[in-house]
Amino acid sequence: KNQVEQSPQSLIILEGKNCTLQCNYTVSPFSNLRWYKQDTGRGPVSLTIMTFSENTKSNGRYTATLDADTKQSSLHITASQLSDSASYICVVTSGAGNNRKLIWGLGTSLAVNP
């Protein structure tokens, strides 16, 4: 069964600290993996997208890694800011062409405190 599991479920850190969020997936066939940031009451916003051949990708203070062998991804946030408080969702695309399907994780709720 195609699944995306994220950990931790929630996380509280102090402003300026780094943190790492985890995503494990059992999806086949694998097409790509995205990390989204979702502010409360808003739509998700794409942070990174990686295919199986990419093992790291950065977007400002966000760095995503992908290990296609172990089917794990992480999102590292550097020098956190209060505005980083949000839910971070891992989404894996299965299939290709018109048969693409997005498998969504439940997300990690991050709170950055002053």
Partner 1 sequence: EPEVTQTPSHQVTQMGQEVILRCVPISNHLYFYWYRQILGQKVEFLVSFYNNEISEKSEIFDDQFSVERPDGSNFTLKIRSTKLEDSAMYFCASSSGTSVFSETQYFGPGTRLLVL
How many residues make contact with partner 1 (CB under 8 A)? 23
Nearest distance, CB of residue 83 and partner 1, angstroms: 17
Token pair recorded at residue 25: 């997936």
Of 80, 21, 71, whose CA–CA distance to 50 is shortest?
71
Which of 18, 28, 45, 82 forms a contact with partner 1 (CB under 8 A)?
45
Which of 30, 34, 65, 84 forms a contact with partner 1 (CB under 8 A)?
34
Question: Quick check: 89 binds partner 1 (CB under 8 A)?
Answer: yes
Determine contact, residues 36/6, Cβ cutoff 8 Å: no
- Any idea what DSSP says for residue 30? E
- Any idea what DSSP says for residue 98? G
CA distances from 14 to 17, 58, 76, 84 (A): 6, 22, 15, 11
Question: Quick check: 44 binds partner 1 (CB under 8 A)?
Answer: yes
Which of 10, 20, 51, 56 forms a contact with partner 1 (CB under 8 A)?
51
| Interface ranges with partner 1 (CB under 8 A) | 31-32, 34, 41-46, 49, 51, 89, 93, 96, 98-102, 104-107
